[in-house]
Structure 1
Amino acid sequence: MGEQPTLAEDLLLVLFQPDSGTIAGENTLFYVLAGAVLAELALDERVTSTTAGLGVTSIRAVDGRAPADPILRSAWDHVSGKAHPVQTVLPAIGPPLRQPLLDRLISRGDIRREKRKALGLFDTTVLIDGGSGRRSELLRDVRAFLVDGAEPTPRVAALAGLLWGSGTLPQFDAVIPWSSAVIARAQQLERDHWGAGAVAEAVTRTFNAIISSSILIATTALRR
């Protein structure tokens, strides 16, 4: 595939655990994948946000800015025509995302399916690292932000924030130490400290609102 990976693909790749062949954070996965999709639409200026008096953030598609990517387009279509509260959009668009995103990662060679024998008798299919090195690169960028204090790009900040919201950060302790400093840095993301840099103020505001809402909703689901 020649297209640039979406933010949701990058997030799913980081959540993939090569040692076990599983995806970390399955219980909050559709919330955080949906948050990644909406965040990408915000960065591309395809959605805008409004916040009501009670702090409820709603998003709406920007007319004439439909994305070509089918996964992004489906989410854009969902919020076209009128504003939708983020907390209703995430569970609406999130559940179908896992499989097509995983298929893309396999097509890119970031993850591979391999057939093995279970108990020496039954054929089974497992997921293994594809050897592209992209997962390590993404984790290195997140570590530079959370551990070394580097100024993140919006995409790196989003990855870090969604990992934090998914409750999976402790599972990356070998690469990103689970320390009080890292926890404090990650908690800043809940207060809109994204380091969006040169991104326009209106885009940053929408991006912040989407990711912060995604973290809050995923964290709330995790605690239930």
Structure 2
Amino acid sequence: MTLVAEDLLLLLLDDEKGTLAASSQLHLGLGGALLVELALAGAVEVEEKRGFWHSAKVRPTGVEVEEPLLREALATVAAKERTAQDLVNRLGKGVKKDLLASLERRRMVERRTGTVLGLFPRTTWPAVDSTHEDAVRRALTAALVSGAEPDDRTRALVALLHALGRAHRTVEHQGMSGGEVRKRAKALADGDWAAKAVKDAIAASTAAVTTAVAAGGAAAGSS
């Protein structure tokens, strides 16, 4: 089974060009996906927020995980009490390379090297086998456009894509407007989750990503 972070990366990759959307905030989205995956596995929990000035910390629960990237992420959580916002940033740094290598091993993408204008080196990751990605996209379309109730993994992807401002660009609208798709994505992200730990991790992760996206947009607007 793929990780939520791997699915998010596949959805943000252009299948033909092998380039990434939302690249400036991508590491936060991937860090959030790893944190959410740990919560889905029951390996972490977010403490109760005790006041306006108190930033809730993330703690390990003692549940072990098998996947190497998740073990590394859990070790970061266990090393020191940190906020979800801090962890999303830490977990996301440098992880794109490992996730792309994993997808390459699974023969979902391939690494291609080249140059831009014949001068600047560039690496792209076009799709090789999009069977899994197509299935993920169908599940997202069912949730965002057809009104189906998603499982927690699909809902987590919806929430992360919404935070990155990409939910409405990931599925065919089938007659709906982009605004309607965004509204549905927000409703799913804010809705009821099977486990409070997952809801808290999603809320903390997407808040960190949304803040970064908004800050990036403000900076671009002022330049």
With normalisation by structure 1, the TM-score equals 0.84
AA partner of residue 200 (structure 2): A
Match of 1:34 in 2: 31
Q: Is the 1:34–1:90 contact (alpha carbons within 8 Å) kept by the matching residues of 2?
A: yes
How far the C-alpha of 1:122 sits from its partner, in A, is 9.3
Q: Which runs of 5+ in 2 are unaligned?
A: 216-223
AA partner of residue 47 (structure 2): T
**1:97 matched to 2:88:** no
Match of 1:159 among 146, 150, 157: 157
**1:10 matched to 2:7:** yes
AA partner of residue 205 (structure 1): K
Match of 1:134 in 2: 132
Q: Which runs of 5+ in 1 are unaligned?
A: none
How far the C-alpha of 1:18 sits from its partner, in A, is 1.4
The structure where strand makes up a greater share of residues is 1
**1:220 matched to 2:179:** no
Match of 1:84 among 79, 82, 85: 82
Deviations, residues 66-121 of structure 1 (Å, cap 9, x unaligned): 31222111111112265421011111111121000000011101111245686689
How far the C-alpha of 1:31 sits from its partner, in A, is 1.1
**Structure 1 residues 95 and 125, CA gap change in structure 2 (3 angstroms):** closer
Match of 2:221 in 1: none
Q: Is the 2:145–2:173 contact (alpha carbons within 8 Å) kept by the matching residues of 1?
A: no
Match of 2:43 in 1: 46
Aligned to 1:20, the other structure's residue is in SS state coil
How far the C-alpha of 1:123 sits from its partner, in A, is 8.5
In the comparison of the two structures, how many residue pairs are matched? Answer: 212
**Structure 1 residues 170 and 43, CA gap change in structure 2 (3 angstroms):** closer
Q: Is the 2:34–2:91 contact (alpha carbons within 8 Å) kept by the matching residues of 1?
A: no
Deviations, residues 31-66 of structure 1 (Å, cap 9, x unaligned): 111111111111111112212223643211122x23
Aligned to 1:17, the other structure's residue is in SS state coil
Q: Is the 2:15–2:126 contact (alpha carbons within 8 Å) kept by the matching residues of 1?
A: yes
The farther-off stretch of 49-58 and 158-167 is 49-58
Match of 1:207 in 2: 198
Aligned to 1:110, the other structure's residue is in SS state coil
How far the C-alpha of 1:134 sits from its partner, in A, is 1.1
Root mean square deviation, CA, Å: 2.5
Q: Is the 1:62–1:80 contact (alpha carbons within 8 Å) kept by the matching residues of 2?
A: no
How far the C-alpha of 1:153 sits from its partner, in A, is 0.4
> 1:91, 1:81 → 2: CA distance?
15
Match of 1:184 in 2: 183
